[in-house]
Amino acid sequence: MFSVVIPLYNKELSIKNTIQSVLNQSYQNFEILIINDGSVDGSVDVVKNIKDERIRLIHQNNQGVSSARNKGIQEAKYEWIAFLDGDDLWEINHLEEVIKMMKVHPTEKVYVTSFQYSDQRKMYKHKRNNSIFKIENYFKEVIKEELIWTSIIVVHKSCFKEVGLFNIKFNRGEDLDLWSRLAKKFKIVKSSQVTAIYRVDAENRTTLSKDLEKCHYYNYEFNNISDIDEVKYYKLFLFNRVFEYLLLKDFKSAKILLNRYSEVGKIEFIYFLVNLFCFVLLKKLKLFR
């Protein structure tokens, strides 16, 4: 029923446990597509040593994670596409939880569970009456809560015909770009059940890019956005990225990004920094929890 798409690029230390977390699922009706995106370490050998007829290893020249995921979508035998990054883990009940969500909301096409970071950091959660619910306003809610992440989303294959695939021009934020397109077109069903682990200590994790034109946050078109909550979301995301560049003392990238969006305004960014400073200060003084 599920085609599990796992992009693979130099994950020799992680990929075995990642695949095993799929094989350990309580729900067993799936195939696993490993898209080797030109790995140069021992990742491929690790995959080959795992004997299960449901695993398909597909090779391509290094073209990036978006291209690898798109290849998996195109090669998938089943209608439901489940994504999992090559260094993250599913809990044993991940697919079973998705099945439960489908029974509660059988006509929807996008399902998302919840995840936790391997370092056990605290994550904000909206209070909701039910553990399985529909996200009513994605752009408003995602500002505070990490609603979607690649390794917890399951999408019906037909959705990609309507909103497109991962944008291969982006090497940062390609997933967030797709989630936004999906959220505009489809209702997203969410479960508060944690079924996946984001391994922050895994090898080959990406960092902020200096190649700004390949980042999704350099390619916003604010003039084409009419939804107020969507504008707020993109502004906040943009300001956070500028702030992160400043923390890394990459003043050149921060300046380029601010100048790119002159219509947003530097005054708004200064206001954002003041609010962020006050929030951090209050938290240190334990006046805000």
Q: What is the pLDDT of residues 199-239, one digit of tens each?
A: 987 766 667 788 898 999 889 888 888 889 998 898 888 88
Tell me whether residue 183 is in a domain: yes
Q: Rounded to whole angstroms, how far apart are CA atoms 33 and 49?
A: 15
135 versus 237: the higher-pLDDT residue is 135
If we measure between CA atoms, which residue out of 183, 236, 242 comes closest to residue 215? 242
pTM of the model: 0.90
pLDDT at 287 over 50: no
Q: Rounded to whole angstroms, how far apart are CA atoms 115 and 254?
A: 30
Where a domain ends, among 198, 226, 245? 198
Helices assigned H by DSSP within the chain: 15-23, 43-48, 65-75, 94-104, 138-141, 159-163, 174-185, 228-247, 251-260, 266-284
Where a domain ends, among 151, 170, 198? 198
Domain of 230, in residue numbers: 212-284
Whether residue 192 is found in the same domain as residue 255: no
Q: Which residues contact 214 (CB under 8 A, 6 or more apart)?
A: 169, 170, 171, 172
Q: Which residues contact 140 (CB under 8 A, 6 or more apart)?
A: 229, 232, 233
Mean pLDDT score, 3-23: 97
Q: Rounded to whole angstroms, how far apart are CA atoms 133 and 99?
A: 14
Phi-psi region of 248 (alpha: psi -120 to 50; beta: other; left: phi over 0): alpha
